[in-house]
Chain A
Amino acid sequence: MSKNIILCGVGGQGTVLASKLLSAASMAKGLPVKSAETIGMAQRGGSVTSHIRIGDGAYSPLIPMGKADVIIAFEPAEAVRMLPYLKESGAVIVNSRPVMPVTAALGGSDYNGKEMTDYLAEKIDNLTVIDTDKACEELGSSKVINVLLLGAAISKCDIGLSKEDIRNAIGRIVPEKFHALNFRALDYIG
């Protein structure tokens, strides 16, 4: 088995934990994992990306363009930005909530998320759009977008891991007082 997964969003949205959970779950199954993350200056309010490569046969920690099985996007424009990495017939899981660039108030940006999700709908057959605002309100926390999106990815496409695998990884990595909340987020999209 080999799976290439891209996680993308804006600094601070929790992509790093999602990446850790995927890696830990794969390790626990004895699968080799490689990953790469954007670190440094680019992280401050900037676009962030994690490349995760599960299984044999990968040399580069970065996924080649057109080879990602799934893009899990925490922000609609970031999904569009990473689209060249998606393979033909690959899946996209996207949060519909836009994050305005920090410079938007200074002018020069008329960004809106709807334009991005419309574009994705036109291009991608296997697309799942999630209103995380609504979901987080029902779950009672805004801090579980990452696990919510992971759960959705497992339900909507094959990432080579089960919810049980991720549940076990949460058990090992996340502090115990947040387990129940994260388990609910994982199962939110069935």
Chain B
Amino acid sequence: MAKEFIMGNEAIALGAMAAGVKVVAGYPGTPSTEVLETIAKRNDGSIYVEWSVNEKAGLEVAAGAAYAGARSLVTMKQVGLNVASDPLMCLEYIGIKGGMVVMVADDPGPISSQTEQDTRTQAFFSKLPLFDPSTVQEAYEMMIEAFDFSEKYGTPVFFRSTTRVCHGYASIDVKEPSEYHKYEVEGFVKDSSKWVIFPRLSLQNHKKIVERNIQLSDIFSEYERNFIISENDKNCRKGIATHSISYCYAMENLDESNMLRTFRVATPHPFPEKKALEFLEGLDEVLCIEELDPVIEKELIFICGKYNLKTKILGKMSGNIKVAGENTVESVGEAINVFLGKESEKATENDAPALPVRPPVLCAGCPHRASFYAVKEAMKGKKTLYCGDIGCYTLGNAKPLDMVDTCLCMGAGINIAQGIGHLEPDTSCFAFVGDSTFFASGITGVINAFYNQSNMTLIVLDNSTTAMTGHQPHPGTGKTMMGEIVSKVSIENVLRAIGLETVVTVDPLKLGEAISTVKEVSSKSGVKAIIFKSPCVAIIKPTGKNIIDSEKCTNCKSCIKKLGCPAIVLKDGKVAIDETLCTGCGICGEVCPFGAIGGGEGNE
């Protein structure tokens, strides 16, 4: 055993390694990304690790490895699970040989996601067992247990965590590599009656899954992670049922003086029914403290109905816990006070001065700013539609650019532009998609638009990385997570192979050329594409700094109003460049009507 101070996601990664994981795949997404990155970093070469093109591909890679008897892991964020749902729903009917864990990070808040969906609910839908840890230490230990359960019962299992567990740090005990689980991989054994999904097999296996989950409910009732605190206090008439980080928030509010019987649920599916009955015995009222869906609450109401118990179950559905957003120590404390009929401390009046708002913006020197500005400038005065997508470039919606009219999910912008364009033939429709998003789920959209005779301009914002999630490689970068240098997949070649006649690659930082390219390409009919190629500023060395010629500058603020670059600031009412932020991209020099902004080196 060793002590390490690590992030929840690192603990999850080390847990998988201790369990003997041999194949790891995933697609980056906050707050899940660090799991796969940690395994890649600590890999001694014996584990195959890949960033897959999307979550569906990743899940299929992991399934194949598990078919062959290896322990495998696939990682994703909650919306990524939507992409992986097709193989996952079917995989449950087929089962696996080696232990397989589907690690999904949920994002209550949501802090950096489109939805507040709950993977626990997906566990009921897909029939997979699910593990839901509360702390970093538990995340480590439960990951090892999840692999054991998976292998023992021949089913993939969910390991679900939330932002505060994934991104919380703690000093925890971890195994030494010599203590890791070791085994031989048998390899894939052909058996078409087992591995080929047909309706007859699905019917058979459906029955088995239902029976297994009834059995697992009993086994989970004995699982030590589903525990009850203060169980023996028979005078206790009120109890709390909780899970994940909300358990920690509840414990912050409970001490010896006001300890309630508390049921911590680590496996909401299959729900540990017998343990729940133990917990409910003699209780008049239960407060369910959960984030996202009222999963425990519904299960307890179901159990009360089934066993004709009079216990009143409170939670989200009774208005005792907020239905959306994150819980906090304070919100949970308030809910417990109301539950116990206690007065809450009154919040002190906030008399603080107005605080500056610091919204997220595109970085200084970000090539996306130039790309958006080029399109905006080229299409001035025309009726336009700008469909955005998922990535840093969603921030192009902020003023003054204001260049994102829609954003839905990975790759959706292309076909949304197609749909709107179908009804508005006089609108110039644009879809902006990043390079990683293009590979993940843009290509089928382009084929759909092209084949169905759509009229639109595709803009690929190619910054040679997956920037938003911390610069992961993708098929266009020519690097893999195993450290190999490989052939790059060319976006331009892909588009040409689909059949697009007009595909132009241009550097957005050469603003004049970029604007004229947009004018020319967008005037053509059919589906045509511009690839704005310029690397993310966070991965390259700045070329220099720009400077303002104070004699030429009239303080018209045109640069500020057009670009909204964080490096252009007002100092004592005068336009100035913040040298600590400027990367010398030079586009402010190109928009200045008085030629007052000159390049540092590299922009001459």
Contacts and interface: CB of A to CB of B under 8 A. Distances in A.
B252 interface: yes
Interface stretch (B119-127, B165-173, B280-288): B165-173
Contacts of B167: 36-37, 39
A109 B569 CA distance: 12
B111 A61 contact: no
A104 B170 CA distance: 37
B171 to A, nearest CB: 5
B356 A100 contact: yes
B413 to A, nearest CB: 19
B168 A105 contact: no
A61 B164 contact: yes
B356 A40 contact: no
B251 A102 contact: no
Interface residues of A, number: 43
Contacts of A47: 358
B564 interface: yes
Contacts of A65: 329-330
Nearest to A122: B351
Interface string B226-268: 0000000000000000000101110110000000000000000
Contacts of B89: none
B329 A37 contact: no
A1 interface: no
Given A46-B360, A61-B170, A106 B560 contact: yes
A106 B361 CA distance: 12
Contacts of A105: 557, 560, 568-570, 575
Contacts of B561: 106
Contact of A103 (B111, B112, B251, B359): B359
B358 A102 contact: yes
B296 interface: no
A33 to B, nearest CB: 5
B330 A33 contact: no
A39 B168 CA distance: 10
Contacts of A119: 352-353
A90 interface: no
A20 B356 CA distance: 27
B245 A34 contact: no
A33 B252 contact: no
Contacts of A104: 356, 569-570
Interface string A110-132: 01000110010000000000000
A27 interface: yes
B328 interface: yes
State the main secondary structure of chain A at its contact with B.
Answer: mixed
A84 B31 CA distance: 26
Interface in B323-380: 328-330, 333, 350, 352-353, 355-361, 363
B352 A80 contact: yes
A103 B361 contact: yes
Given A24-B5, A62-B328, A37 B353 contact: no
A42 B360 contact: yes
Contacts of B164: 36, 61-62
Interface in A55-114: 59-62, 64-65, 77, 80-81, 83-84, 100-106, 109, 111
Contacts of B112: 40-42
A45 interface: yes
A45 B170 contact: no
A10 B333 CA distance: 30
Nearest to B352: A80
A35 interface: yes
Given A39-B30, A39-B31, A81-B355, A45 B171 contact: no
A23 interface: yes
A10 B358 contact: yes
B566 interface: yes
Interface string A171-189: 0000000000000000000
B452 to A, nearest CB: 34
A64 B252 contact: yes
B353 A116 contact: yes
B249 A27 contact: no
Contact of B30 (A40, A46, A60): A40
B363 A44 contact: yes
A34 B329 contact: no
A64 B361 contact: no
A42 B113 CA distance: 12
Given A40-B30, A106-B399, A60 B352 contact: no
Nearest to A108: B357
A14 interface: no
Contacts of B468: 41
Q: What are the 3 A-B residue pairs with the smallest beta carbon separation, nearest first?
A: A102-B566, A61-B168, A64-B329
8 contacts: A40-B30, A45-B361, A46-B358, A47-B358, A62-B329, A64-B329, A77-B355, A106-B399
Interface of B: 3, 5, 30-31, 111-112, 135-136, 164, 167-171, 245, 247-249, 251-252, 328-330, 333, 350, 352-353, 355-361, 363, 395, 399-400, 468, 557, 560-561, 564, 566, 568-570, 575
Interface of A: 10, 23-24, 26-27, 32-37, 39-47, 59-62, 64-65, 77, 80-81, 83-84, 100-106, 109, 111, 115-116, 119
Given A33-B170, A37-B169, A40-B31, 14 more contacts: A23-B169, A26-B171, A34-B170, A44-B363, A44-B395, A46-B360, A60-B252, A65-B329, A100-B356, A101-B358, A103-B358, A103-B359, A104-B569, A109-B357
